[in-house]
Structure 1
Amino acid sequence: MSACAVDAAGVAHEKTGAGARIVSLVPSITELLFALGLERQVVGRTGFCVHPRDKVRNVPKVGGTKAVKVDAVRALRPTHLIVNIDENERDTVEQLRAFVPHVVVTHPLTPHDNLSLYALLGAIFDREHEAQRLADALQARLHEAAGHAFAAQNVLYLIWREPWMTVARDTYISAMLRVVNWQTLPDVQGGATGAGRYPSFEFDDAEHAPWLAGVDRILLSSEPYRFTQAHCDALKSDPRMAGKRIELIDGEMVSWYGVRAIDGIAYLMQRASAA
């Protein structure tokens, strides 16, 4: 029996050959599959799987990350389905499990977790060499970041408005920001899969005033809510935000794991060094 790779749900997967038919319901992992040289085996993706742009356009869409078209997936006859604990709905995954032989569950929570993610997919789809190449590049980037003395900053990372929403410290986003010594506020842990991982708040709520006062920098992400310069300017003109640096940030660079983490860390290093 061939060696097995164990996914985030504790399920062991044996190595598969070139005949694998993969449907990915995770945008960042779709990008990673292409980086691993698996473009001929990716037969389905979500509408949010937009990278690499020149290649994914040829892959059929199966709905969104949370609004998956089950019949569209079935029609593609996948052997493997790749999902993520945060991004996909459990009930939908269970429906798909009824006819997809292999469901690979992922759940990276830190930049370092990408190393095991590369190894997992490399082992399953016979791309160990390509996975090691990515791991070496990420290790080098992490080592480079660790060698810098970045100024400590308390940051508020906004992902939504009406209501305003941010990230707890046990999210992948918060862990990425810590690479450059940016600590997210509020200082809360949301739990493994709970809604508390993305807490809502109001700027004028007295309950939130103490930790909001300690924010040095407000980052308005490009996703999932697409903040614009107009939103940035509006916050800058708010007297409650006086003294805080307010800027837009590329959400893909911060929240997409997989191969994007390599460039994402470089992006954050550049932002932090320019502060």
Structure 2
Amino acid sequence: MQWSDAIGKRHDRYAETPRIVSLVPSLTELLVDLGLAEHLVGRTGFCVHPRHVVRRLPKLGGTKGFAIEKLRALAPTHVLVNIDENRREEVAALHAFVPQVIVTHPLAVRDNLALYQLLGGIFGRDPQVEARARALAADFERESAALSAQTATLPRQKVLYLIWQQPWLSVARDTYISQMLAAAGWDSLPVESALRYPEVDLPALAGQADWLLLSSEPYPFREKHLRQLAEQLPSTRATLIDGEMVSWYGSRAIRGLAYLRRLRARLP
């Protein structure tokens, strides 16, 4: 049996013992939750969950600008990458010495189900791996249904989700983040954008938003930023939001759906 990744490349079930490098933080966490921690041999410095596992793994730099020769020395059988998070030219260089480069690109919330199936299938030589993938899918469906039921009872709201300041950057509606927000009944601003992470006119868009959401990543917005914005935009309601729960896919998406359900319930 074969499974297709985000660029349509077909992958067989790996019959030997894998050596996996993950260059995507959320995928590192997912691999651990699939029971593949012992097969991880490298990660980025941003792969921080779960700490007790990743702290023993060699760090290869960032998701962009990773140390390719250090990665080569690890002799991986598989490297996991993402279209948004890794540079195309750096990923292309991996094909010269990595037997299997697995490309991911979840955009819709339900793309997580295909992701569980993809990795559970490729690394399912141990039946427990596929069993864990099925369990994650069941947990995802449960939390997704609970969020959908809640969303159906609430009015939709417009939100401005900020990921950076100086300049102020938000998210376009074709991003995974925006799709997660939409699942909670929050339609992100701007409505249209040629860029996936556009610079925005904060006062103008804040005036259109029911809520201003300040993410904890990649820019670490804190309480002091809420106080500053309260002075600049006194009529705008703003709150902090856990960026990992909204932008990390994989197994974190399950907790993300539950987190959004709780957050939406307390924000009228």
Same fold (TM over 0.5): yes
Residue number in structure 1 paired with 2:214: 220
CA distance in 2, matches of 1:123, 1:103: 15
Name the SS of the counterpart of 1:120 in structure 2. Answer: helix
CA distance in 2, matches of 1:189, 1:123: 36
Q: Is the 8 A contact 2:206 2:236 kept in 1?
A: no
Question: Counterparts in 2 of 1:152-171, with a 5 A limit?
Answer: 152-171=156-175
**1:152 alignment partner AA:** R
CA distance in 1, matches of 2:61, 2:247: 21
CA distance in 1, matches of 2:61, 2:235: 43
Superposed displacement of residue 212, structure 1 = 3.8
Change (3 A) 1:230 1:203: same
Across the aligned residues of Structure 1 and Structure 2, the Cα RMSD in angstroms comes to 1.1
Residue number in structure 2 paired with 1:28: 26
Change (3 A) 1:137 1:18: farther
CA distance in 2, matches of 1:151, 1:56: 41
Superposed displacement of residue 179, structure 1 = 1.2
Q: Is the 8 A contact 1:43 1:60 kept in 2?
A: yes
**2:266 alignment partner AA:** A
Determine whether 1:184 maps to 2:184.
no
Residue number in structure 2 paired with 1:92: 90
Equivalent position to 1:235, from 229, 237, 247: 229
Superposed displacement of residue 165, structure 1 = 0.2
Which residues of structure 1 form unaligned runs of 5+?
191-195
Deviation track 1:17-54 (CA, whole Å, cap 9, x = no partner) reads: 35110000000000000000000111000000000111
Aligned length: 261
CA distance in 2, matches of 1:150, 1:116: 29
Change (3 A) 1:189 1:128: farther
Determine whether 1:115 maps to 2:113.
yes
**2:107 alignment partner AA:** L
Residue number in structure 1 paired with 2:248: 256
Question: Counterparts in 2 of 1:1-275, with a 5 A limit?
Answer: 3-126=1-124, 127-148=129-150, 149-190=153-194, 196-203=195-202, 209=204, 211-238=205-232, 241-275=233-267
Name the SS of the counterpart of 2:81 in structure 1. Answer: strand
CA distance in 2, matches of 1:35, 1:48: 17
Runs of 4+ in 1 over 3 A off after TM superposition: none
Name the SS of the counterpart of 2:244 in structure 1. Answer: helix
Which residues of structure 2 form unaligned runs of 5+?
none
Q: Is the 8 A contact 1:138 1:261 kept in 2?
A: yes
CA distance in 1, matches of 2:154, 2:248: 22
Residue number in structure 2 paired with 1:193: none
CA distance in 2, matches of 1:6, 1:189: 30
Name the SS of the counterpart of 2:227 in structure 1. Answer: helix
**1:67 alignment partner AA:** G
Deviation track 1:160-195 (CA, whole Å, cap 9, x = no partner) reads: 1111000000100000011110110110254xxxxx
Superposed displacement of residue 202, structure 1 = 2.9
Q: Is the 8 A contact 1:22 1:44 kept in 2?
A: yes
Q: Is the 8 A contact 2:157 2:187 kept in 1?
A: yes
Change (3 A) 1:37 1:18: farther
Report the identity percentage: 51
Q: Is the 8 A contact 1:6 1:12 kept in 2?
A: yes
